[in-house]
A and B are shown apart, each in its own frame.
Chain A
């Protein structure tokens, strides 16, 4: 697969703040890429630099074989879907979608029949039929989302940047739009770069997932790799499914405030050492239960649990005050009732632990 977008050593600063600190990345053509990062990690800045709204201080951006680092946004052929949708409030739904086709500087469509056909095709593709004449203030959030997408896709950009496109929608609609976005992308055959702060969204949507941390790309890989083999404690933390212990390597394990924790295999290289165990790989047992040789066990006091339907998340307070989370999938076992303020043993297999050193 050829690379449609290549960034090398892109730097963007705001005063003393380095919003992008030497970004290198290469995005494949015709794929769905999600960009995950906590707020303040520079993900919106990265999109705005790629779109050309903000000039980078250093580095180059190559898009479909051309250097576009200094090209103005309207000559890049990169679409942008805003978090707040940024629909044109004085135009109807139909005119919003037709706007780019008719008014663009390069190759505007002047034949009204052709415009009409393209706009109507796009309206039916995104499922807005019947709303053509509405004002943008008279449609729901999900419909605005579709207008924003249709307006961009109808101009046939080579790539579409989506800045937290589902952030303004309610949870129900968000889930539905996820699969629709993927479907629409496949039919159009362009690359989507979807920025999100939600780890579930990033993993669910992306053929490729990029993790942005402190103005740098921390990891790039497919969802499975990112989820099961995060390359640094920071990435593991964003994924919101790992208990992390800081500490250092010691003889026969990893030394933490909870004592020596055993693991198998080689630790991964990382700047800040940490020991990570997934929420759903931990077994809750009565305090003082026996441990087999391939297990690690610590103790904690049960605080509370949260029922999410398909799983129960139990929270324990460890001796140093740290909160430890355990996720029990209800398809595997019936929910157990734990007593608050009572001590339990928390055990996991050595081989399930990830160690960064």
Chain B
């Protein structure tokens, strides 16, 4: 096969791959514009409408279909994801910083940390529930579930930061020390700005993983439901296109988050170039 043939083949393969990847999402998005309240979650589209979006926000006249119980769940999941993001990222950065030098038992500690993302979520969730019951600790999304979210996302943040530090040239830190700058200030002024793109990635990982975490939260969150649990709860009755509408909105939210990430990343990378451009102008 010649080179252009290979190129064409790879192009077709990539297209199919993307279709496969985003097909389900597109179907969801289309069905979310089904008419309501009589339209169901299947083709064909009886009539195009934004009924289910209005339904989400309670803008439709009352009908037999109950509104999605998401308002509280959404707030909880957001807050939980934020808390998890902050704690996991701080832990990940500091742990990775510690691993820049080998210490006694560093091999064992490494695997213990990484284990947090390996063990099956349902088991950890169940285990946490049993431990909490035995010790008489009340289960809450901001307590037991939060701990599990950190255990789960911290290894991701840790591995991201480990990769960043692996490529980090520590002679800039030594240069700073030799200029009389203390190690703490060196970290703040030199190390942190240079690893910041990695920190952003770690934050993104922690947030998204926590935001839609299901299996660990299922047993550990107690009475008040997080967003994934609340949505799953509605499935047990009957599925309406309002879930799809909500899916589309959360996806848009995720894109917004990604855009913020991309902009911040671009700013930190481009700062140096911009200085150069000003100089030449």
Q: Which residues of A contact B176 (CB under 8 A)?
A: 88, 99-100, 103
- Closest partner residue, chain B, to A131 (CB atom): B279
Cα(A17)–Cα(B185), bound, Å: 34
A104 and B194 within 8 A (CB): no
Q: Which residues of B contact A155 (CB under 8 A)?
A: 179-180
> Is B177 an interface residue, CB under 8 A from the partner?
yes
A90 and B193 within 8 A (CB): yes
Q: Which residues of B contact A106 (CB under 8 A)?
A: 180
Contact with B along A45-73 (1 / 0, CB 8 A): 00000011100000000000000000011
B 232-281 contacts with A by CB, 8 A? 271-273, 275-276, 278-279
A 115-137 contacts with B by CB, 8 A? 133-137
Q: Which residues of A contact B177 (CB under 8 A)?
A: 52-53, 72-74
> Is B190 an interface residue, CB under 8 A from the partner?
yes
> Is A228 an interface residue, CB under 8 A from the partner?
no
Cα(A210)–Cα(B194), bound, Å: 37
Expressed in whole angstroms, the minimum distance between the Cβ of B173 and any Cβ of chain A is 9
B180 and A104 within 8 A (CB): yes
B174 and A53 within 8 A (CB): yes
A90 and B178 within 8 A (CB): no
B181 and A134 within 8 A (CB): no
> Is A290 an interface residue, CB under 8 A from the partner?
no
B174 and A90 within 8 A (CB): no
B183 and A74 within 8 A (CB): yes
Q: Which of A79-87, A186-194, A263-271 is the interface stretch?
A: A79-87
> Is A151 an interface residue, CB under 8 A from the partner?
yes
Expressed in whole angstroms, the minimum distance between the Cβ of B251 and any Cβ of chain A is 34
> Is A78 an interface residue, CB under 8 A from the partner?
yes
A151 and B275 within 8 A (CB): no
A134 and B180 contact, Cβ closer than 8 Å, known pairs A89-B272, A105-B185: no
> Is B189 an interface residue, CB under 8 A from the partner?
yes
B 152-186 contacts with A by CB, 8 A? 169, 171-172, 174-183, 185-186
B 59-105 contacts with A by CB, 8 A? none
Expressed in whole angstroms, the minimum distance between the Cβ of B111 and any Cβ of chain A is 25
Cα(A87)–Cα(B194), bound, Å: 12
A151 and B279 contact, Cβ closer than 8 Å, known pairs A90-B271, A103-B189: no
Cα(A157)–Cα(B183), bound, Å: 18
B179 and A134 within 8 A (CB): no
Q: Which residues of B contact A305 (CB under 8 A)?
A: none
